[in-house]
Amino acid sequence: MFPLHTYITKDWTTFVGSILCFFLSSLSAKAQQTIVFDTENIRSAQLIVDDDPLLPPVVQLGNQKQLQLHFDYMSHEPQRLVYHISHCNYKWEKGEEESVFESDYISGLNGQVIEDYETSFNTTQNYTHYRFCIPTDELRILISGNYRIEIFQESDYDGGQADAPLLRAEFCVLEPLMGINAQVTSNTDIDFNQSHQQVSYSVSYGTQRVVNPSQELHTVVLQNRRYDNAVIDLQPNQQTASGIAFSHRKELIFPAGNEFHKFETTDMKRPTLGIDNLRWYDPYYHATLFTDKRQHNYTYDQDQNGCFVLRNTEWDDAQITSEYIWVHFSLSCEEPLPGGPVYICGLWANGSWDESLRMEYDPDTHEYQGKAFLKQGYYNYQYRQPDAQGRGRTILTEGDFYETENEYTILVYHRPQGARYDKLVGFRTLKIK
């Protein structure tokens, strides 16, 4: 019999931890690039730029690169699903201060039924794959900034004002008007070549007129595209007539973490990368990963910093021929870790603290155990613990090592005096040298 995990969650401490993590999940979900609300029916939501699933969801204004939203609805019954596109401020909010009209930011009709879909072929789990593309001949983006795509059942759609979308996916449109010079180093203001990395950067105005940078400019710094530990709206400590700079700031010191774990479920006939065993237990495939161990020393392993690629080795069109699999994770620990619950995390993980990805400690095996229902593909993942602010910590689960090859992203937004929205005027990614 397949050893499905059983969990002990009766004690008061675990109950309180569950309430706390539910609260943290609600906070962190507001800033996620992609989040699924109807987790029973919607799976494998992914934004892809220029047919490359490893690229960040950022396109340049006026560029011909296409952004595609892919997702599966777990049924062969046709669904009339409607998209709605909204422009947001730099904090991903649709507030009163974001006073643009729909006709200001898109050309074409909003709130239309998605007609591009196919049913799965020769799979054990039935699903329908949907695809929404932008720009098209009928739909174009007109201004830069942050954008949100929400998907609704047609019967629930009321012009994008409803609080019950099936999923939300967020992307950025860049208008490259300002330059960014940046570096990341392990020689930080709190340690040297130990467990942290520090970012410094400057923004050059170029030809843009900036009267009051503290009010007009907003910056965001991300580590591995995560928003749970993002540094948002930090005020510069240097200012000149041509730009601003951020250097020797403790807010820009990040725990270095460790390289991501990885696995592949691309072949249903045999175990592949990271898979200990692969079994069929009606009605699902189950893939059990090799047990992970907490690291005490850094070991280089090439990864994709949390990304995932949906694919299989048997068919060309992986979007409609790939199976869904229960993937079982385990982390070896002699005793339960202090500092709160452990979660499985990655850019595929539907928010920082998805409760379905919360692991439970098994005292008999001395392991944290968890599982996820995933489509065939290549996945990166980490184990993290949330702190009181909802930031993911790796010090106890993965270790923090200065050598880790993290990716850092810097975004610069500009709202000139009298303007009605935040332009995205600068974008840069870099890694530690």
* 101 shares a domain with 117: yes
Q: Which pLDDT belongs to residue 162?
A: 64
Q: Which pLDDT belongs to residue 14?
A: 42
Secondary structure (3-state) at 397: coil
* 270 shares a domain with 230: no
> Which of 257, 246, 254 lies closest to 214 in space, CA to CA?
246
* 84 shares a domain with 187: no
Beta bridge partners of 291: none
Q: Which pLDDT belongs to residue 351?
A: 80
* 387 shares a domain with 356: yes
Number of compact structural domains in the chain = 3
Interatomic CA distance for residues 72 and 45, integer angstroms: 7
Q: Is residue 21 a part of any domain in this protein? A: no
Interatomic CA distance for residues 325 and 383, integer angstroms: 20
Q: Is residue 27 a part of any domain in this protein? A: no
Q: Which pLDDT belongs to residue 161?
A: 67
Provide the token pair at 366: 């001395």
* 119 shares a domain with 134: yes
Q: Is residue 1 a part of any domain in this protein? A: no
* 267 shares a domain with 194: no
Q: Which residue, of 154, 174, 194, is where some domain finishes?
A: 174
Q: Which pLDDT belongs to residue 433?
A: 67
Reported pTM: 0.91
> Which of 260, 256, 397 lies closest to 337 in space, CA to CA?
397
Provide the token pair at 265: 């479920």
CA 191 to chain centre: 29
Q: Is residue 8 a part of any domain in this protein? A: no
Ranges under pLDDT 70 in the chain? 1-32, 95-98, 160-163, 433
Q: Is residue 404 a contact partner of residue 258, using CB atoms and an 8 Å limit?
A: yes
Q: Which residue, of 174, 208, 240, is where some domain finishes?
A: 174
Q: Which pLDDT belongs to residue 428?
A: 98
Q: Which pLDDT belongs to residue 20?
A: 46
Q: Which pLDDT belongs to residue 64?
A: 79
Q: Which pLDDT belongs to residue 237?
A: 94
* 48 shares a domain with 170: yes
Q: Which pLDDT belongs to residue 316?
A: 85
* 367 shares a domain with 318: yes
Q: Which pLDDT belongs to residue 158?
A: 82
* 163 shares a domain with 84: yes
Q: Is residue 11 a part of any domain in this protein? A: no
Q: Which residue, of 126, 158, 174, is where some domain finishes?
A: 174
* 124 shares a domain with 189: no
CATH code: domain of residue 350: 2.60.40
Q: Is residue 20 a part of any domain in this protein? A: no
* 142 shares a domain with 55: yes
Q: In the 8-state DSSP scheme, what is residue 138?
A: S
Interatomic CA distance for residues 68 and 376, integer angstroms: 19
Q: Is residue 10 a part of any domain in this protein? A: no
Q: Is residue 17 a part of any domain in this protein? A: no
Provide the token pair at 225: 């595209």
* 71 shares a domain with 114: yes
pLDDT tens digits for range 221-245: 999 999 999 999 999 999 999 999 9
> Which of 26, 28, 9 lies closest to 345 in space, CA to CA?
28
Q: In the 8-state DSSP scheme, what is residue 395?
A: T
Domain of 313, in residue numbers: 261-393
